Amino acid sequence: MSDQQQAALLFVKKPLVKPLQSASIEMKKACRATKRYACSQELFARWPNLRESSQRLTSLLTLYWPDHRKSGESLLVNCLDAGLREAEKSIQTDSNDLAEQKIFIRRVSEELVQCLGLTLMIKRSGLWTVYDPSIQGYLDDIMKSSVSEELTWVNKPHDAFASPQSQLLCASKVFTMTELKLVGLLD
């Protein structure tokens, strides 16, 4: 067994046992897994832009992306759980509608940066390559691609993980410029 396989946290070989469904359906599964499904429905009804951003988050990570801090847990579920938990508190305690949107975006962005805590390796045409989140596509497209054969998450932080811009780098794959500006990630 290679060093890469020994350090792997999760290994996915295609074809998938359960093929990925649409981002909307996968997002509903993730929201149910947070045990905050009712909150997600209320928040997304009030702020359709957050539903769209959460669907992009779902496409980016899928339920497969592991959370390196919590063995056996999905980073997608943990991102949504953190955002929904804080938004739920804001809904209950604050009459400022904008506050719930801000806190959701901020908390999801803070959690999302954890995707850089692992390195995703993708086997294509028999060759392993490192996934670069700043230039490569969303994971759901990669997993659906006929070119991708296997994926493995290696317990090695991505080079950008310690960068002060890493949160913005990750959040810009999910949230709009207006949303990033709203929470102060952009000047």
DSSP 15-80: SPSS----HHHHHHHHHHHTT-HHHHHHHHHH-HHHHHHHHHHHHHHTTTSB-TTSTT-BHHHHHH
pLDDT band, residue 26 (cuts 50/70/90): very high
- Taking 50 as the threshold, does the pLDDT of residue 170 lie above it? yes
The predicted structure's pLDDT at residue 12: 85
The predicted structure's pLDDT at residue 160: 86
Q: Is 70 left (phi over 0), alpha (psi -120 to 50) or beta?
A: beta
- Taking 60 as the threshold, does the pLDDT of residue 6 lie above it? no
164/36 Cα distance (integer angstroms):
31
Whether 187 maps to a domain, the answer reads no
Element (DSSP H or E) covering residue 106 = helix 97-112
Provide, rounded to the nearest whole percent, the portion of the chain with pLDDT above 70. 95
- What tens digit of pLDDT does each residue of 71-118 get? 899 999 999 999 999 999 887 776 667 889 999 999 999 999 999 999
The predicted structure's pLDDT at residue 4: 46
pLDDT band, residue 184 (cuts 50/70/90): very high
pLDDT band, residue 187 (cuts 50/70/90): confident
Q: Which two tokens stand for residue 98?
A: 């904008």
163/185 Cα distance (integer angstroms):
14
Amino acid at 131: Y
Whether 34 maps to a domain, the answer reads yes
Least confident segment among 20-24, 61-65, 144-148: 144-148
2/139 Cα distance (integer angstroms):
24
Whether 52 maps to a domain, the answer reads yes
Note down the domain range covering 112: 3-182
CATH of the domain at 54: 1.10.3210.40
Closest residue by Cα to residue 40 from 74, 113, 91, 5: 91
What DSSP assignment string belongs to 39-51? HHHHHHHH-HHHH
Whether 149 maps to a domain, the answer reads yes
Give the count of domains, the chain. 1
The predicted structure's pLDDT at residue 96: 66
Strands 119-124 and 148-154: antiparallel
